[in-house]
Amino acid sequence: MTDLEEFRAEARAWVRENAPKSLWGTSGSGPFDGYWGGSKCEETDPDILRWRDLGIEKCWTAPAWPEEYGGGGLSREQENILHEEMKAIAVPRPVAGQGLAMFGPVLLEYGNDAQRAQHLPGIARGEVRWCQGYSEPNAGSDLANLQLRAVRDGDEFVLNGQKIWTSHAELSDWIYCLARTDPNAPKKQMGISVILVDLDTPGITVRRIDLISGYSPFCETFFDNVRVPAGNLVGTENEGWTIAKAILGHERSSIGRSIARQPGSAQREVVARARKHLAAPEGAIPDPLLRDELAALGMLEEAFHLTLARIQQSAESGTPGPEGSITKIVGSELKQRRFELGMQVAGTQGLGWEGPGFDEDDLQYTRDWLRSRASTIEGGSSEIQKNIVSKRVLGLPEGKK
């Protein structure tokens, strides 16, 4: 056996012995599926908490982080294998969320030792939840247009302005913000800094945003003379745009992968809904046009999973191809098609908002369908992604947007 095969055997045994049985088959096992944690977390499921504790004990909540920060010191390949083994039985990650998937890796790369020692262990243990302060009302796709002001005052920055789409801000402990530290810089991408803010600091107000699907974890976060220690600056002042792009890279690949779920699961889900709503418990789906659309969805799903595997294999071989750039575009479109088709088969039974006459599964599905409309917008809209691919991968000339 090669070392990696040996590790797979070890990881498989550990996951199967330790993951509580009640969690098997319940999760997409992506980087955002699992215990999000933080001091305001209200999770009570004893199995989820037990799984978290076992993960922490093994140091496999942040498998590839250095051991000194609560990580497992594994290689990227080993980390992938461990997560594949969780996915194989569809259990959630012991700890999940933005701290692990997005902020942590960037702090490892750009933070200083003191910042890493202060923040990473709490993320790895699920004790501190992080959220992201990027978008603003006038800085969506044009993120570099952000206006949250940070003015240096002695050993502190003073922050004034507003962030939007700060998901989970209500339940988070800290926020990593992009702030404008030099309003006179010659280009708007310059003069931006990454600043870490404790959400309990006076002057911060968090307000929830409801979506077309109803309740959502999204929030608006307002900053009114919020004073932050200067040591909370990550990297070099006014050069935060590079870090911002790195975090977005982690976010997009995380979104692409978290959409992926189990191979074949989208097809199974929609076929099951078709069987239920068309009263066709077995055999061929009676409507050939619908069946064709189901098969097209199943094929797209399969090709997407094969492509994710190919991207991962080529990254592991040391020569990553350019195709990683399309995972978010394809993954989000696949998700929308899946829900559209799932709604199609439900007919008028999919029109319920709440209350009698609709079953719980259908009500939830309808909310999820509405929520899926955001998947081609959040984390960089499909249009922005296509601009990036056409410029960086296809080498097409920059034009008027």
Partner 1 sequence: MTQDRAPFLLLNDEQEMLSKTAYDFIRERAPAARIRTFRDSNDDVGFSRELWYEMAELGWLGLQIPEPYDGLGLGFFDLAVVLEQSGRELMPEPFVSTLLLGTQALLLGGNEEQKKALLPGVTAGKTLITIGYEEAGSRGGLSSPTTVAKKSSDGFELSGEKRQVLDGHLADRIIVSAATSDTGYTLLLIDPTHKGVTVTRQSRIDGLNAAIVRLDRVPVKSDAVVGGLDAGAFLLEAVFDRASVGLAAQMLGASEQAFADTIDYIKEREQFGVPIGSFQALQHRAVSVYTDIALTRSAVLAAARAIDESPEEVPRLASLAKAMASETFMHAAKEAIQMHGGIGVTDAHDIGFYMKRAQAAYMTFGTPFQHRRRWAELHGY
Q: How far is the CB of 369 from partner 1 (least distance, A)?
A: 21
Q: How far is the CB of 340 from partner 1 (least distance, A)?
A: 17
302 binds partner 1 (CB under 8 A): yes
CB 182 within 8 A of CB 202: no
Q: How far is the CB of 335 from partner 1 (least distance, A)?
A: 15
Longest Cα–Cα distance of the chain, Å, equals 73
2 binds partner 1 (CB under 8 A): no
Q: Which of 314, 336, 344, 381 binds partner 1 (CB under 8 A)?
A: 314
117 binds partner 1 (CB under 8 A): no
Q: Which of 101, 294, 343, 346 binds partner 1 (CB under 8 A)?
A: 294
**187 versus 401: smaller Cβ distance to partner 1:** 401
243 binds partner 1 (CB under 8 A): no
141 binds partner 1 (CB under 8 A): no
Active site residue 136: no
Q: Which of 267, 332, 366, 372 binds partner 1 (CB under 8 A)?
A: 267
271 binds partner 1 (CB under 8 A): yes
Considering only residues 19 through 78, tell me which ones interact with partner 1, judged by CB under 8 A: none
Q: Given the rule CB under 8 A, which of 122-130, 133-141, 250-258, 267-275 is the region that contacts partner 1? A: 267-275
- SS3 labels along the chain: CCHHHHHHHHHHHHHHHHCCHHHCCCCCCCCCCECCCCCCCCCCCHHHHHHHHHHHHHCCCCCCCCHHHCCCCCCHHHHHHHHHHHHHCCCCECCCCHHHHHHHHHHHHHCCHHHHHHHHHHHHCCCCCEEEECCECCECCCHHHCCCEEEEECCEEEEEEEEECCCCHHHCCEEEEEEECCCCCCCCCCCEEEEEEECCCCCEEEEECCECCECCCCEEEEEEEEEEEHHHEECCCCEHHHHHHHHHHHHHHHHHHHHHCCCCHHHHHHHHHHHHHCCCCCCCCCCHHHHHHHHHHHHHHHHHHHHHHHHHHHHHCCCCCHHHHHHHHHHHHHHHHHHHHHHHHHHHHHCCCCCCCCCHHHHHHHHHHHHHHHHHCCCCCHHHHHHHHHHHHCCCCCCCC
Considering only residues 331 through 390, tell me which ones interact with partner 1, judged by CB under 8 A: 383, 386-387, 389-390
**166 versus 307: smaller Cβ distance to partner 1:** 307
Q: Which of 307, 332, 366, 375 binds partner 1 (CB under 8 A)?
A: 307
Q: Which of 214, 264, 320, 347 binds partner 1 (CB under 8 A)?
A: 264
Q: Which of 4, 246, 300, 377 binds partner 1 (CB under 8 A)?
A: 300
Write down the catalytic residue from 79, 220, 251, 293.
251
> Which residues are known to be catalytic?
251
Judged by the rule CB under 8 A, the positions of this chain that interact with partner 1 are 84, 87-88, 263-264, 267, 271, 274-275, 283-285, 288, 291-292, 294-296, 298-300, 302-307, 309-310, 313-314, 317, 323, 326, 329-330, 383, 386-387, 389-390, 393-401
